[in-house]
Chain A
Amino acid sequence: EAQVTQNPRYLITVTGKKLTVTCSQNMNHEYMSWYRQDPGLGLRQIYYSMNVEVTDKGDVPEGYKVSRKEKRNFPLILESPSPNQTSLYFCASRSRGLANYGYTFGSGTRLTVV
């Protein structure tokens, strides 16, 4: 089944403890992206990648890092999480080309930083 898989689904952590949220897609998509969803603010893009070793900032990149060493994986790294990073995070992927413009989203990771 074609899908974007995120792990973990739920995570509670403490301020300052480094964490990684994994994202993997099995559709051979070139583009991958991370979004955070907050009540009243909708979804905002954190980082995106157009291919292996090609990443760039989205609208809200502060406090996050990403890497794209393999085409299928796009982990989101919080090196020193803070409570304002408590949010619902979504990974998404799509292939190049107009016909495939819409992103496919993962099921989300709910992160709580205390």
Chain B
Amino acid sequence: AQSVTQPDIHITVSEGASLELRCNYSYGATPYLFWYVQSPGQGLQLLLKYFSGDTLVQGIKGFEAEFKRSQSSFNLRKPSVHWSDAAEYFCAVGAGQAGTALIFGKGTTLSVSS
């Protein structure tokens, strides 16, 4: 069965420091992978997605993610974190009939210290 694991429940980084959020997936075929961000009291916003092709994908807000098939990973990175990046981040894999479902990881909460 498809699954997504985000090993880190909570991460704290200093403002201006680099960030990497980990995501591992389990999926039989070529995965469609996503990162979403949820700010407090808000819905989920799509940061970036990977379908095929270049394994390094660029997203909004300065985020990028790298797909590594050999490691079944899709880690999210940002070179310099801003205080406004504090939020909960979800990795997801597309699944279900015609991609009607997203299987989410349990999320990583990012805190940014000054």
CA distance A107 to B41 in the complex (A): 8
What is the interface size of chain A, counting residues whose CB is below 8 A from a CB of the partner? Answer: 26
Q: Whole-angstrom distance from the CB of A8 to the nearest CB of chain B? A: 14
Hey, which chain B residues are within 8 Å of A87, CB to CB?
Answer: none
Which one of B15-23, B64-72, B98-106 is at the interface? B98-106
> Counting CB contacts under 8 A, is A58 at the interface?
yes
Closest approach, in angstroms, between the C-beta of B32 and any C-beta of chain A?
6
Which stretch (A12-20, A42-50, A62-70, A76-84) binds chain B? A42-50
Does A74 interact with chain B (Cβ within 8 Å)? no
- Taking CB atoms, residues of chain B closer than 8 Å to A105 are 36, 43-45
Which chain B residues (70-114) contact chain A, with CB distance < 8 Å? Answer: 90, 94, 96-102, 104-107
A43 and B100 contacting across the interface, CB-CB below 8 Å: no
CB distance from A53 to the nearest CB of B (A): 15
Q: Answer whether residue A24 sits at the interface, using C-beta atoms and an 8 A cutoff.
A: no
A31 and B43 within 8 A (CB): no
16 contacts between A and B (CB under 8 A): A33-B101, A33-B102, A41-B106, A42-B90, A42-B104, A42-B105, A42-B106, A43-B44, A43-B104, A48-B101, A101-B49, A101-B94, A104-B46, A105-B36, A106-B43, A107-B42
B34 adjacent to chain A (CB < 8 Å):
yes
A58 to B95, CA, bound (A): 11
